[in-house]
Amino acid sequence: MGNVEKRLDKQTNNAGGEVLPSVWTHILPVEKKAYKNAVDYVSEGLRNLKGKRRYSISGERRFSDPHHSTAHAMPPTSMEKGYDERVRQLDVTIHPTLNVTNFLELEFSAPLAQIIKGGAVVELHRGNVGETMKSLRERGCTSYRDIKTPWGPPMFLAQKPDNTGYVLAMANMHGKNYRLHYQALLKYLGVKPSNIHNYSYDYDYKGKIIGNLEKMQTPADEALIGGLWLGKRIQHRLQTQDKYRHLTQHLKQFRQEGEENLTLNKIMLKRLGEEATRGDADQHPQVVHSRQHKRVLSKLKPLLDTPQADKLFSTSVEQLFHNGPMIGLMDRIAQEIEKLKNSNPKVRLLPDREIKQKPSDKSKQYAFPKEKRYLKTESEYPLRIASMRYTDSGGGERTIIFTEVPYGDMSRDVTKAILSSAPDIEKIVFIGSAGSLRGIEEKEPEEAQQTAYLENTNIPPQLWEKAFKQPAGQSVDRIHLSDICIPMNLYDIRGELVNPTTENRLLWFLEEDIQNQLTHDGAKPADIHNPGVFATEHRVTESPLMEHDIQVDSWRRGGYCGVDCESSYVVEVLEEEASKIDGKKPEFAAMMYIEDVVGVPGFSLGEVDRQKMLSSTRTKMIDILLGGPTGSQKGAYLDIQKISPHENKKQTE
């Protein structure tokens, strides 16, 4: 760490449990320049981290600067020091099933973790960024730095009044479980209870979410809780489809007689090759013409002269939407063409679009039309939401909403808000991530796998036997990274069944697609390009940091297959609402992708590359919902036929 290292002293983990590397035992002494020393230490440390673009610390900012809007920010209603009761009970001498060091680096970063461990006061604000800023400013803090990490919430290293030290403030701690999660992280870092300051705000989270939903103007017919990423992928597919349509229409004009059987990618390469040989040393414009065609040909040939490109340009525009790999290839081709267009204006084979230009913009060239927006988004705290309009097979105009994943018990507020804003909603689908409890060999004999809770299940034994090809009560052997689980029964943190009358309709929709067992060897991941689909017994936990080997072993012996932090809260609300409205409730469906194998080193949460491992899984989930080659034999779960662009009056060419 350079010269900054000289300003550090050593300190042991005062919470007990040596779960952190020895390098994480340094602290900053309390001194007049403590804030500057902390900033220097974090800045220098982040520069040395691998993947440093995922970590950042901003330049110095004053609370007087109009960086964050605090005009309508409410003040905190209370501040309490210490850990919540659930975290006080957490024994950090028992190692959790995940890699704590790796997890802390994703949430905080190693240098920031050392600052926290060294005695910094940490503030957990259940308000948004503006309210956190206002609270710091009104308590005399003068300047601050934004800190961004791959998984962490908005964080601010703020200078105390009179330059007497610093605090680390964390915003957006909405939900009880979310705050428990970060308190648990801080306890593993050995933070003293007196250095944990919990700020509460008079927030009606359900009311705020209802307000965001009402801005969508049209009540939802379906909702995908946790499906915002899916909505964005649908929009991206539609935008790529629009580019494909524009490119193929453009290239058709270059097809010559006798080339009816050539795909358009071959025609483009052939014409580029012809133009590239027309250079004449005595004619400068022609030389430029030739050089530009040669340059474009060299860049596009690796993408266009392949069997995959032949298949792409043999695909209709309508079929393209449902073909994830072809969408990916077309996206790469479009990106390369867009880059080439502006620097190679003489290449007519590159598509063009008509735009209204100012005189100063005449030299700017664009290959494709401006992207249409198919999602209407609302990003106001505490939850990002988007809506999409579509036509069903009967010609009806309908609306579907997508929300980001609400952490833990916030799922309850989100579900209640959706039901309040759209009382006639027909379907609620939960899309989430989960950890597999079936990634290692069982140590117990087969009879020990019999589930004691089957008397309370709402799944008929014949469906269990059909799903697992084994007697009811015995669980599936292996579920690995990238697989998809379809919960049969959902259990809360106490292990009590929460869906006695609410069935997961995807179980029946995917009845012919659900597999019985996985035969993968050991803890190695499945074929990530062909994820399996499994019916599971599922439970929730407040945080992955609450999972330890003894507890997880008991879950496995109980017959549970997977664990997450949200699903049971959604179903609890549906069960409660059904009792109030004479049994009427929307159809419920849930599916989750496996992003970690609990208790298996190297495959715990945060140790795997989500982008690499889950690409095919997410494609399969889209195909299940909308129809596609990797989806269900029955077609599409959602009846979406044509998606309409979102009309934005401010959007111009």
What's the pLDDT tens digit per position in 483-518? Answer: 999 999 999 999 999 999 899 999 989 988 886 433
Asked if the model's pLDDT at residue 461 lies above 90, the reply is no
Distance CA 384, CA 128 (A): 13
DSSP letter for 389, please. E
Asked if the model's pLDDT at residue 36 lies above 60, the reply is yes
Q: What is the largest CA-CA distance in the chain?
A: 90
Q: What is the pLDDT of residue 352?
A: 87
Q: What is the pLDDT of residue 313?
A: 97
State pLDDT tens for residues 225-239: 999 999 999 999 999
Nearest in space to 486 (alpha carbons), one of 606, 567, 426: 567
% of the chain surpassing 90 pLDDT: 54
Q: What is the pLDDT of residue 440?
A: 57
Burial of 545 from C-beta contacts in 10 A (0-12 / 13-18 / 19+): buried
> Burial letters for 612-625: b for 16+ Cβ neighbours within 10 Å, e otherwise?
ebbbbbbbbbbbbb
- Average pLDDT of span 380-405: 94
Q: What is the pLDDT of residue 454?
A: 34
Q: What is the pLDDT of residue 363?
A: 61
58-72, 240-254, 619-633 — which is least confidently predicted? 58-72
Asked if the model's pLDDT at residue 351 lies above 90, the reply is yes
Asked if the model's pLDDT at residue 458 lies above 80, the reply is no
Q: What is the pLDDT of residue 469?
A: 39
288-302, 333-347, 434-448 — which is least confidently predicted? 434-448
Asked if the model's pLDDT at residue 617 lies above 70, the reply is yes
Band (pLDDT 50/70/90 cuts) for residue 444 is very low
Q: What is the pLDDT of residue 382?
A: 87
Task: For the chain, give the mean pLDDT.
Answer: 83
> What single-letter amino acid sits at 382?
P
State pLDDT tens for residues 132-143: 999 999 999 989
Q: What is the pLDDT of residue 90?
A: 93
Higher-confidence position of 379 and 223: 223
State pLDDT tens for residues 354-391: 655 555 555 678 899 999 999 999 888 888 999 999 99
Please name the residue that has the structure tokens 């982008």.
611
185-194, 511-520, 579-588 — which is least confidently predicted? 511-520
Kindly report the number of other CB atoms within 10 A of residue 342's CB atom: 13
Distance CA 653, CA 650 (A): 10
Band (pLDDT 50/70/90 cuts) for residue 279 is low
Q: What is the pLDDT of residue 234?
A: 95
Q: What is the pLDDT of residue 5?
A: 35
Band (pLDDT 50/70/90 cuts) for residue 52 is low
- Average pLDDT of span 464-485: 58
CA 18 to chain centre: 31
DSSP string, 516-530: S-----TT----TTS
Nearest in space to 646 (alpha carbons), one of 338, 239, 367: 239
- Average pLDDT of span 328-335: 95
State pLDDT tens for residues 8-18: 333 233 333 33
CA atoms within 13 A on the CB side of 208: 16
Distance CA 308, CA 17 (A): 54
Higher-confidence position of 268 and 353: 268
Kindly report the number of other CB atoms within 10 A of residue 193's CB atom: 14
DSSP string, 426-474: -EEEEEEEEEES-SS---S-GGGGS-TTGGG--S-HHHHHHHHSS-TTP
Q: What is the pLDDT of residue 33?
A: 79
* Nearby residues of 227 by Cβ (< 8 Å), 6 or more positions away: 402, 403, 429, 431
Give me 362's structure tokens.
């005449």
- Most confident among 319-323, 407-411, 554-558 (mean pLDDT): 407-411
Higher-confidence position of 426 and 284: 426
pTM score, whole prediction: 0.86
Distance CA 28, CA 6 (A): 10
Band (pLDDT 50/70/90 cuts) for residue 266 is very high
Asked if the model's pLDDT at residue 451 lies above 70, the reply is no
State pLDDT tens for residues 118-168: 889 999 999 999 999 999 999 999 899 999 999 999 999 999 887 778 999
Higher-confidence position of 30 and 426: 426
Higher-confidence position of 245 and 51: 245
Q: What is the pLDDT of residue 209?
A: 93
Q: What is the pLDDT of residue 524?
A: 36
